Chain A
Amino acid sequence: MARRSFGEKGFDVINIGLLGLVAILMVFPFLYIIALSFSDEKTIAEGGLILFPKGWSLEAYRYIFSTDTLVRSLYNSILITIGGTIVNLAMTSLMAYPLAKTHLLGRRGLLMLVIFTILFSGGLIPTFLVVKWTGLLDSLWSVIIPTSISAFYLIILKNFFQQIPEGLEESAKIDGANDMVILLRIVLPLSLPAMATFALFYAVNHWNMYFHAIMYINDNSKWPIQVLLRQIVILSQSAVGDSSSISDETVLPPQSIKMAVIVFATVPIMLVYPFLQKHFAKGVLLGSVKG
């Protein structure tokens, strides 16, 4: 008996130790980058292992805010994230609500239409041509409109709406409210936690997006922060590089500036993370997309 409890204690210690190590491995890269972004360029150039800011300096951040490019790309990212999320939520909830009504004629067909888009897509090139044809190229709308509804989130939200008791809506209907009023006044206020989750998921997607931007936006004054980050950290680093996508980059920015840009591209997510964390577990557990 005593031996088993000794063994179990050993197991607990190892388990806690390993999980602690995993947690450290997950945050260490961030801490390292943040530390270096506050370090003085000379100390970084000297090399060696740095864990804490050495030769404390705000130079990198001062430089960033002195350049138009970075401030403008932050501004673009904020516009895309806020505008895009509003469009996402409006479009997704407007479509999810009718689809949650089991008596709706044609509902099954429409659900199949939606689910099929998860299984098959026309692909990158035809989608690009459609975005071009609808006149969105080189505008911020090009990264908002073509992704305005996620079929996955739509179906999860539809399932969520279906669980709201009918009674509330029925009584409003008797009072003469139409479905639009019911959605706005009754269903959405009851769904605030779900809407908050989707808002945050959509917002994270917009903030992190770079690929649509490099496909659809050539004008570099409209680049979001992630595209700028790719330009100055990744494309300038690979000297052999992907010559097709390097612009006229000639000066390599110093390490501390690269790190400061990484911090800027990450911090907004870290700021919303604590709020997000409460809700997201529910949002992930979609389980099935059955109609």
Chain B
Amino acid sequence: MQHVSTLRRWQRQVRRDRWLYLMLLPGVIYFLIYKYLPMWGVVISFQNYSPGLGLFQSEWVGLKHFERLFSEPTFWMLFRNTILLSVYQLIFFFPIPIVLALMLNELTQQAFKRFVQTVIYIPHFVSWVVIAGISYLFLTPEGGFVNELLGLLGQDKVNFLMSTEWFRTLQVTQVIWKEAGWGTIIFLAALAGVDTQLYEAARIDGANRWRQLWHITLPALRSTIVILFILRMGDIMEQGVEHILLLLNAVNREVGEVFDTYVYTVGLLQGNFSYSAAVGLFKSLVGLILVVAANYLAKKSGEEGVF
């Protein structure tokens, strides 16, 4: 038996599992065509791609599009807008689910807790278009709720939607409204895993609620917080086109345009396939490096990595 070659053993295994391989086929074809073919398609960012000529006949231009990208002031605008939105979310959004989860965890009435949970998860399932639509109807200077309220308080109307100062606040507020409640799930799960005996012991030792929070609850959340924080760091280049595209207009473009929306506008609407593919490739590469680095840091700090 020892002399059976590896190749023969593999052949036998493949024959035995032929149904499994058959079942894999549609999925593998899907990944190859819709995920890996586009990865190969990034070669157009080194070409002057023209749809008429196709991938093989288009002229090669080397790094021309990247040189153009790095020399344009637009690049720094995109970079600043993307990073700033991410940093604001890290500061203003990231802690909120943790605080909400801690507050929910302190509730003793289970019925009220379930009610609050049910309600605060709802916005997660609402589309960005609906959220943007609601925001527009609330904020419009022509009879919108918020401006009416400002009017009642004797304040001037503010055109939140057509303003460079309010864009980031609006964007981050929408993210908070949509995802803050949903974000509590992962922390509540971590909190449910805490041994209740620890709290009893602490009470007997005379620890009040704040001390229990500090010495038992927060340490229990530590690894979840670290992992999520590091993952967010890895995602710093990701500011979703689906969300931001809905808020952009000619007025706020200078603070709102991010890499993804720029690729969409310049590439699909204006037809600069090669240049915008280069912008997209730059963003994806930086994103990949950040994710791998973040994962490495997570493992370094003694937490379990994500992959």
A binding-site residues for B, Cβ under 8 Å: 4, 8, 11-12, 15-16, 18-20, 22-23, 25-27, 29-30, 32-33, 36, 44-45, 47-49, 91-92, 94-95, 97-99, 101, 103-105, 110, 113-115, 117, 119-131, 134, 145-149, 154, 178-180, 183, 204, 207-211, 215, 226-227, 229-230, 233-234, 237-238, 240-245, 255, 258-259, 261-262, 265-266, 269-270, 273, 276-277, 280-281, 284-285, 288-290
Contacts and interface: CB of A to CB of B under 8 A. Distances in A.
A285 B126 contact: no
A94 to B, nearest CB: 5
A26 to B, nearest CB: 5
Majority-rule SS of A interface residues: helix
Interface in B246-289: 246, 248-251, 260, 263-265, 267-270, 273, 276-277, 280-281, 283-285, 287-288
B245 A208 contact: no
B245 A44 contact: no
Given A179-B23, A240-B251, A265-B129, A26 B177 contact: yes
Nearest to A99: B24
Contacts of A266: 126-127, 130
Interface string B98-142: 001001101111001001101111110111111011101110100
11 contacts: A19-B112, A23-B120, A26-B181, A33-B137, A122-B41, A125-B280, A149-B30, A208-B130, A229-B129, A270-B122, A277-B121
A12 B47 CA distance: 64
Contacts of A119: 288, 291-292, 307
A233 B42 contact: no
A210 B276 contact: no
Given A95-B28, A97-B23, A98-B20, 4 more contacts: A210-B242, A255-B143, A259-B137, A273-B125
B61 interface: no
B158 interface: no
A265 B20 CA distance: 40
B122 A273 contact: yes
Contacts of A121: 35, 38-39, 284
A233 B136 contact: yes
The list of the 6 closest CB pairs from A to B, nearest first, reads A122-B38, A95-B27, A126-B41, A123-B280, A208-B127, A126-B38
A133 to B, nearest CB: 8
B34 A125 contact: no
A269 B125 contact: yes
Interface in B158-197: 161-162, 177, 181-182, 185-186, 189
Contacts of B36: 113, 117
Contacts of A237: 136, 140, 161
Interface stretch (B11-19, B69-77, B83-91, B214-222): B11-19
Contacts of A97: 20, 23
Contacts of A204: 125
